[in-house]
Amino acid sequence: MYTIAVIADSQIPDRPCRDLLQAIKKSGHNAKYIPISRISVVVDGENVELRLREVKLQVDGAFLRSIGFLIDLEQFIRRLTVLRLLEESGAIVLNPLEGFLKSRSKLETVVELARRGIPVPRTVCTEDLYYAYVCCKEMSEFVLKPIQGSRGFGAVKLSDPDIAFQVMKTLLSYKKPLYVQKFVPKPGRDIRALVIDGEVFACMYRIAPEGSWKTNIAQGGRGTVCEKVEPELRELAIKATEALGLVYAGVDIGEGPSGYVVFEVNGSPDWRELAQVTSKNPAERLVEVIISRIKR
Ligand SMILES: Nc1ncnc2c1ncn2[C@@H]1O[C@H](COP(=O)(O)OP(=O)(O)O)[C@@H](O)[C@H]1O
Ligand SMILES: [Mg+2]
């Protein structure tokens, strides 16, 4: 019997975390929910240990779901060390820390994808207000996104470079990098492919609410099953997941005027809507995958 943890930022597990905990128990193993803030690093002489209070943390595997959203740089640095030590202890961490971190940055994501020839929208990420303004003028229709964001929160679509100028100036005064991306017209929907261990496990269209360009479920988008995943789409989703060093990912794909475009690769995707519309349970598959990797 293995002990498999689910690690996240919140004190209370969210729905995907609960699904994972349930699937771990169902497969006959020990499930443990651990808020990352509760894991301490103890250095005593030559001995370096992760602990939950006085008890040494010993797990065979862990699902890393979140390292926190509104956290300070110093908290982030501490948590990085915790997770690195966890991986070094021999535990199988899904997603692996390196890929998880890359996928958290929209900038790292487009860089890694573009380098492997995966189509992404033209993107400029800068702290130079004047240059960002010039790029907005060139792009004519563009999207400003938080470099670390999800669920469509905070992404704005603009076409007026001077409105963008005011927004970007404000963002910079709060030390936020500017992430400007050319708007890709799409047919009122995009595609969410959930890749698990080298296969598309499930796929759906996300239909944008009337009049909106965002398809996120959190923004009122609605899923419908995508039964037939054509080989080009399948290969793209798998390649994008691997490009970031992820074992599983929710890949967001647009159907642009000149073909598929990858918008995002989520290293800890929510799957509520996907599970509902496809009647498939990603958590059970993920538990199979982590167990097979623990056994290796
Ligand atoms: N460059 C773009 N052009 C058109 N639509 C986009 C573009 N980038 C993202 N979107 C749409 O915006 C929404 C959020 O995109 P995404 O980049 O995945 O951010 P988030 O992390 O907030 O989900 C999705 O509905 C996606 O289809
Ligand atoms: Mg997205």
Q: Which residues contact 15 (CB under 8 A, 6 or more apart)?
A: 270, 272
Looking at residue 166, what is its pLDDT? Answer: 98
- Tell me yes or no: is domain 123-182 CATH 3.30.1490.20: yes
For residue 263, the ligand closest to its alpha carbon is 1
CA dihedral 232, 145, 276, 61 (to 10 degrees): 90
Q: Are 293 and 285 in contact (CB under 8 A)?
A: no
Q: How far is CA 277 from CA 19, 152, 160, 272, in A?
A: 16, 20, 38, 9
CA of 263 to the centre of ligand 1 (A): 6
Please list, in sequence order, all residues whose beta carbon lies within 8 angstroms of the beta carbon of residue 283, skipping any fewer than 6 positions away: 16, 19, 20, 22, 23, 271
**Helical H runs in 2-119?**
15-26, 73-88, 97-104, 106-115
Pick the CATH number of 102-119+186-281 from 3.30.470.20, 3.50.50.60, 3.40.47.10, 3.40.50.1970: 3.30.470.20
Cα of 2 from ligand 1 centre, angstroms:
38
Q: Indicate the angle between helix axes 129-139 and 161-173, nearest 10 degrees.
A: 150
All structural domains of the chain with their residue ranges:
3-94, 102-119+186-281, 123-182
Centre of ligand 2 to C-alpha 166, Å, is 25
Residue bearing the CA closest to ligand 1, atom 21: 150
Instruction: Please give the helix or strand (H or E) that residue 120 lies within, else none.
Output: none
* From the candidate CATH numbers 1.10.10.10, 3.40.50.20, 3.40.640.10, 3.90.600.10, the one assigned to the domain spanning 3-94: 3.40.50.20
Q: Is the pTM of this model over 0.75?
A: yes
Measured in Å, residue 294 CA sits from the centre of ligand 1 at: 35
89 contacts 261 by C-beta, under 8 angstroms: no
Q: Which amino acids bring their CB within 6 angstroms of ligand 1?
A: 121, 143, 145, 149-152, 155, 181, 183-184, 186, 190, 213-216, 252, 254, 263-264
Task: Give, for ligand 1, the residue of 105, 153, 156, 252 to mutate: max count of ligand atoms closer than 8 Å to Cβ.
Answer: 252
Contact by Cβ (8 Å): 263, 214:
no
pLDDT in tens, the chain (296 residues): 999 999 999 999 999 999 999 999 999 999 999 999 999 999 999 999 999 999 999 999 999 999 998 899 999 999 999 999 999 999 999 999 999 999 999 999 999 999 999 999 999 999 999 999 999 999 989 999 999 989 999 999 999 999 999 999 999 999 999 999 999 999 999 999 999 999 999 999 999 999 999 999 999 999 999 999 999 999 999 999 999 999 999 999 999 999 999 999 999 999 999 999 999 999 999 999 999 999 99
User: Rounded to the nearest 10 degrees, how much is the dihedral formed by the CA atoms of 279, 280, 282, 286?
Assistant: 160
Task: Classify residue 219 by its DSSP letter.
Answer: G
Atom of ligand 1 at shortest distance to CA of 208?
25
